[in-house]
């Protein structure tokens, strides 16, 4: 749920991450889940101008089918597909599609991922269904963030925390605390 809330803030700020994967997700000591590595982030409204026609950017195992095709108009649904792959991997211990690059690209275009329950019969049905829905090949058929949060048991009241009290768009990054943390880590690393 924390990852989905983080994506909600990104999407409300008008950007698509495009490279969501476990190594780009951090859990703080306080248990807060934070998406990282914004090197491939694009403005959702200008993604067409910022992506070269036919270019494939991101990590193939977590990439949505439309992203793997090199489609230039990428939406928040791409990030939600990656959440589905991460959820699938958490539940099953493996990726939904594996193999050489061309096999992965073809599978993402032509096959539905196997249900987690096929390899892990004890998986809760609601999480298995959510992972499958998030990895639907049709981006329009994937659940939206409010539906994902509801499926994860997040109430409407706790969802409201992603917006500021004034109703303004939430800030993407608050730099003071992060810079202080980086400065402290740098100082400690030089102390041995």
Active-site residue set: 19
The whole-angstrom separation of Cα 145 and Cα 11 is: 10
Place of tokens 């892990």: 120
CA separation, residue 85 to residues 19, 60, 66, 167 (Å): 12, 11, 15, 32
Number of CB atoms found within 10 A of residue 132's CB: 19
Q: What is the helix (H) or strand (E) element at residue 15, kind and residue range? A: strand 15-16
């Amino acid at each position: 749920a924390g990852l989905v809330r983080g994506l909600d803030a990104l999407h409300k700020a008008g950007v698509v991450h495009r490279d969501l994967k476990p190594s780009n997700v951090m859990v703080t000591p306080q248990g807060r889940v934070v998406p990282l590595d914004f090197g491939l982030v694009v403005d959702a409204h200008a993604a067409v101008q910022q992506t070269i026609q036919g270019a494939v950017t991101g990590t193939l195992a977590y990439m949505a089918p439309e992203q793997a095709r090199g489609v230039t108009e990428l939406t928040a649904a791409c990030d939600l597909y990656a959440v589905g792959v991460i959820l699938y991997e958490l539940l099953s211990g493996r990726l939904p599609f594996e193999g050489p690059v061309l096999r992965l690209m073809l599978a993402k275009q032509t096959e539905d991922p196997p249900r987690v329950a096929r390899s892990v019969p004890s998986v809760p049905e609601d999480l298995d269904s959510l992972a499958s829905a998030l990895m639907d090949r049709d981006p329009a058929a994937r659940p939206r963030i409010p539906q994902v949060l509801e499926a994860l048991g997040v109430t409407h009241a706790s969802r409201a925390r992603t917006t500021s009290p004034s109703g303004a768009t939430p800030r993407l990054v608050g730099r003071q605390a992060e810079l202080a943390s980086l400065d402290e880590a740098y100082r400690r690393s030089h102390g041995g």
